[in-house]
């Protein structure tokens, strides 16, 4: 069965520092991979997605993620974090086949300190 693991429950970074959020997936078919961000009490906003092609994908708000098939990973990065980036981040995996829905990780909460 497909699954997504986000090993870090909570990460705290200083404003201006770099950020990497980890995501590992288990999926039998070719995965479609997503990163979503959720502010408190809000819905999910798509940051970026990987369907095929270049394994380094650029998203909104200065985020990027790299797909590494050999490591079953899709880590999210940002070179310089802003205070407004504080939120919950979810990695999700899907498939362009059948009725497979998105499977989400449990999320990583990002705190940003001055």
Partner 1 sequence: ETGVTQSPTHLIKTRGQQVTLRCSSQSGHNTVSWYQQALGQGPQFIFQYYREEENGRGNFPPRFSGLQFPNYSSELNVNALELDDSALYLCASSFSAHAEAFFGQGTRLTVV
- Of the pair 78, 108, the CB lying nearest partner 1 is at 108
**Residues in CB range of 57: below 8 A, 6 or more apart:** 48, 49, 50, 64, 65, 66, 67
Q: Does residue 31 bind partner 1 (CB under 8 A)? A: no
> Do residues 37 and 89 make contact, with C-beta atoms less than 8 angstroms apart?
yes
- Of the pair 83, 96, the CB lying nearest partner 1 is at 96
For the four alpha carbons of 6, 72, 49 and 83, in that order, the dihedral sign comes to: positive
Contact track, partner 1, 50-89, x by CB under 8 A: ----------------------------------------
Binding site for partner 1 (CB under 8 A): 4, 34, 36, 41-46, 49, 90, 92, 94-107
């Amino acid at each position: 069965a497909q699954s997504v693991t986000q090993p870090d429950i909570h990460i705290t970074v200083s404003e201006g520092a770099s950020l990497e959020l980890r995501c590992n997936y288990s999926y039998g078919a070719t995965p479609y991979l997503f990163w979503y961000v959720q502010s408190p009490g809000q819905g999910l906003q798509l940051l970026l997605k990987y369907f095929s092609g270049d394994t380094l994908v650029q998203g909104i708000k200065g985020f990027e993620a790299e797909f590494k098939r050999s490591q079953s990973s899709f880590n999210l990065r940002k070179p310089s974090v802003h205070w407004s980036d504080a939120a919950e981040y979810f990695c999700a995996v899907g498939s362009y086949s059948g009725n497979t829905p998105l499977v989400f990780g449990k999320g990583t909460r990002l705190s940003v300190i001055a």
